[in-house]
């Protein structure tokens, strides 16, 4: 049985002071569920997030990291810096990073390896564009993204990775994949992991769905056998919606 995991991706929203308020609201409404709960805040909010979430079941994640340990990389943030703050998770390869900040499958792979080496749990994002889907290459694109992301990752480490299947056309658009569409791709990703490693690894690894998941559609999506949680953008910024999604687990 895989434990479900609900992750809020705040993107470039909330100031450090607003972070305290939102996490306090989630804490108050959080029914101490039987699933993992993570909030991924902007870098500058992480310290307040860790402090405010201390002693609760809410864990804190970053939205990116750099794959070098230290040095002349102006503007970047290392895994050690995140660890030192008490951060436990990190989103890697979100489609917005791939689209606007030139992240490639290769840099995504380097970041996955660095996160695992430093004991941060990667939330690896994969997903097809609308053109990919319309041209019938969804499987090819996602298998490529997945296979390259796991290059040189050991079987033991692979199990720690959380994969977020996020169809690019569903992110922030209000268009959600149907539960059947989402489950089909999540099952395909699991099959890809089985091909790369083995059934044991594929069965252990958690695969989330992300893309306009909200308080209204979460329950049905989360009831599908291959969907082990959600990566939530817009709805993670409202404590009522986010905690309703948590309760849907």
**In the complex, what is the shortest distance from the CB of residue 212 to ligand PGA, in angstroms, rounded to a whole number?**
4
**105-117 vs 138-149: helix crossing angle, rounded to 10:** 40
Q: How far is the CB of 59 from ligand PGA (least distance, A)?
A: 17
Nearest distance from residue 177's CB to ligand PGA, in Å? Answer: 11
Pair of tokens at residue 35: 């699933």
The Cα–Cα gap between 225 and 242 comes to 22
Q: Which of 51, 166, 194, 220 is catalytic?
A: 166
Burial 192-215 (b: 16+ CB within 10 A, else e): bbeebbeeebbeebbbbbbbbbbb
Catalytic annotation on 166?
yes
Least separation in angstroms between residue 140's CB and ligand PGA is 22
Tell me the C-alpha distance between 125 and 108, whole Å: 9
Q: Cα–Cα distances in Å, from 165 out to 31, 126, 142?
A: 26, 5, 9
> Which lies closer to ligand PGA via its Cβ, residue 194 or residue 224?
224
Q: Which is nearer to ligand PGA, 142 or 202 (CB)?
A: 142
Structural contact between residues 117 and 90, judged by C-beta atoms closer than 8 angstroms: no
- Stated as kind and residue range, the H or E segment containing 125 is strand 121-126
Minimum CB distance to ligand PGA smaller for 98 or for 114? 98
Residues in contact with ligand PGA by the rule CB under 6 A: 9, 166, 171-172, 210-213, 231-235
Interatomic CA distance for residues 148 and 111, integer angstroms: 12
Nearer to ligand PGA, 120 or 202 (CB): 120
42 or 211, CB closer to ligand PGA?
Answer: 211
Which residues make Cβ contacts (< 8 Å) with residue 72, sequence separation at least 6? none
Q: Are 242 and 214 in contact (CB under 8 A)?
A: no
Minimal CB distance residue for ligand PGA: 233
The alpha carbon of 71 is separated from its chain's Cα centroid by a whole number of angstroms, namely 27
Q: Shortest approach of ligand PGA to residue 74 CB, angstroms?
A: 26
Active site residues: 94, 166
């Amino acid at each position: 049985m895989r434990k479900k995991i609900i992750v809020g991706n705040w993107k470039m929203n909330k100031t450090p002071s607003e972070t305290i308020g939102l996490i306090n609201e989630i804490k108050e409404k959080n029914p101490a569920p039987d699933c993992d709960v993570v909030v991924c805040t902007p870098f500058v909010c992480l310290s307040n997030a860790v402090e405010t979430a201390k002693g609760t079941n809410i864990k804190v994640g970053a939205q990116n990291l750099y794959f070098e340990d230290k040095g002349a990389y102006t503007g970047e943030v290392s895994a050690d810096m995140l660890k030192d703050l008490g951060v436990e998770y990190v989103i890697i390869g979100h489609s917005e990073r791939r689209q606007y900040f030139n992240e490639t499958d290769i840099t995504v792979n380097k970041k996955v390896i660095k996160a695992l080496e430093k004991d941060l749990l990667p939330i690896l994002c994969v997903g097809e564009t609308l053109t990919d889907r319309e041209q019938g290459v969804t499987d090819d694109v996602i298998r490529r993204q997945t296979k390259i992301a796991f290059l040189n990752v050991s079987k033991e480490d692979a199990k720690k990775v959380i994969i977020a299947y996020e169809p690019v056309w569903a992110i922030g658009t209000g268009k959600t994949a149907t539960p059947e569409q989402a489950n089909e791709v999540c099952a395909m990703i699991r099959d890809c992991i089985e091909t790369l490693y083995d059934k044991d690894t594929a069965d252990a690894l958690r695969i989330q769905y992300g893309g306009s998941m909200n308080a209204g559609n979460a329950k049905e999506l989360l009831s599908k056998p291959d969907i082990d949680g959600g990566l939530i953008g817009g709805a993670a910024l409202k404590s009522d919606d986010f905690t309703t999604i948590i309760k849907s687990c």
